[in-house]
Structure 1
Amino acid sequence: MYFKNILVALDGSDHAMKALELAAQLEDKFDSSLHILSVYRHYGHFESSHSLVRPREGMLPPDDALKQIAREIVEMGCSRAKELGATGIKGVVKRGKPSRVILDYVKEHPVDCIIMGKRGIGDGGGGLLGSVSNRVATLAPCTCITVK
């Protein structure tokens, strides 16, 4: 099997970072392109207005703060992938429901393999409701690897 384009989904969790290490190894082995994607959840005006956390002067609104965190995760992932020998790296930040955004990204790009952590930061109810990794693995049209 040959992977020309590998997508690794990062949320900053330990499992996601292990997934990144595997993705970098495969990128090097197959001379692939490595897409590093971080997805942040969108907080609309309605949700923000009902939040107990109110931005103070000088603070970013929730959407902007989450986008910044996702950017930092991607930058950290790109740096780590380079340390591990990966060269064909593309970092991407998107907003939305993680499983849907990952699956849409695969539809829009020629991804042969998705690598992601088994459990992420927001996986509290994953056992009962179905986690992001389970949903992506079930619905993706390509090879999926989950890492513990």
Structure 2
Amino acid sequence: MNQISKSYRQHDISPTLDLAGQRMAQRLLKRVDDIDSYTLQRLRAAREQAVDQRRSVLVQEAQIRLAVASQSASGQTLSLPDRPSRWQQFSGIGMLLALLFGLWMIDTIQSDNFAQDAADIDNVLLTDDLPPAAYLDPGFKHFLKLSYPAETL
């Protein structure tokens, strides 16, 4: 344990503080064999707390960066405007009008199709050799079943 392992440090630590930390680490390493077990346990616990705290700070920074990246990828900005801009209002109104126009067109087409289907049925009934009342007669239904039996497979 006489070697100080150099690791990559964050750039947010001042060089003076970093140098002081390195000196402190060297002094502790020289005297590590003279430290009693109670003090070593306290140092280990303090180190674990410092590492956990730094880890939580890094996790929070990563979450913030991820949120900013996802918002910038979706075209949103990080600032929260009080009200939408004029272009957002116009685009929202335009989308609403397009939706209403589409619904009106669907209703119109379905109404026309229903009217056309009803007109075709009326045309067949009125131009057929049988009167429309024949289709309502239960005896005629029985006659059709006997005359044209369903084919069995």
TM-score by structure 1 length? 0.20
Higher RCO (C-alpha 8 Å, min separation 6): 1
Greater share of residues in strand: 1
TM-score by structure 2 length? 0.20
Greater share of residues in helix: 2
CA radius of gyration, larger in? 2
